[in-house]
């Protein structure tokens, strides 16, 4: 996500879409209104975390290395340090700071994140 600035710009564009939706400026037809509402929900779901970011993060914590492999590769490309919870099916060499833990158990994740 950090290496794809077009998506980042799209995330900022969603702010304008949200304000238009609240003002009722987009309600020209019911079909258009539904499409804009769906777009707002989709953008908020997938890009909501980067909406207020002004720069790259100082460090990234990755819980499931296999699931978030793309994010991990982007961090490596951009030189962002990573802390990864490493399960038995993960590669500890990819993380800057690997933490061996069960990434499937919520209690394990909660304990480690509270200590960080």
Q: Is the domain of 111 the same as that of 64?
A: yes
Q: Could you give the CA distance from residue 8 to residue 2 in angstroms, rounded to a whole number?
A: 8
Domain encompassing residue 9: 5-50
pLDDT for position 86: 92
Residue 55 lies in a domain: no
Which among 43, 49, 94 is positioned nearest to 72, based on CA atoms? 94
Report the side by side order of strands in the sheet with 97-100.
60-62, 82-86, 97-100
Asked if residue 97 belongs to a domain, the reply is: yes
Looking up tokens 């399960």 gives 87
Locus of tokens 């100082």: 58
Tally of domains in the chain: 2
Query: How confident is the model at residue 61, as a pLDDT?
Result: 94
Q: Are residues 83 and 110 in the same domain?
A: yes
CA of residue 72 relative to chain centroid, distance: 12
pLDDT at 116: 87
pTM for the model stands at 0.63
Both 108 and 81 in a single domain? yes
CATH label of the domain that carries residue 85: 3.40.50.10490
| CA–CA distance, 82 with 37 (Å, rounded to integer) | 35
pLDDT at 34 > cutoff 80: no
């Amino acid at each position: 996500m950090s290496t794809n600035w077009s998506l980042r710009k799209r995330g900022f564009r969603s702010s304008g879409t949200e304000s238009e939706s609240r003002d009722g400026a987009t309600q020209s037809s019911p079909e258009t209104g539904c499409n804009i509402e769906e777009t707002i929900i989709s953008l908020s779901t997938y890009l909501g975390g980067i909406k207020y970011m002004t720069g790259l993060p100082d460090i990234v914590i990755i819980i499931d290395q296999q699931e978030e492999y793309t994010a991990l590769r982007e961090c490596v490309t951009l030189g962002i340090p990573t802390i990864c919870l490493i399960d038995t099916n993960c590669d500890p060499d990819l993380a800057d700071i690997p933490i061996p833990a069960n990434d499937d158990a919520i209690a394990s994740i909660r304990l480690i994140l509270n200590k960080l």
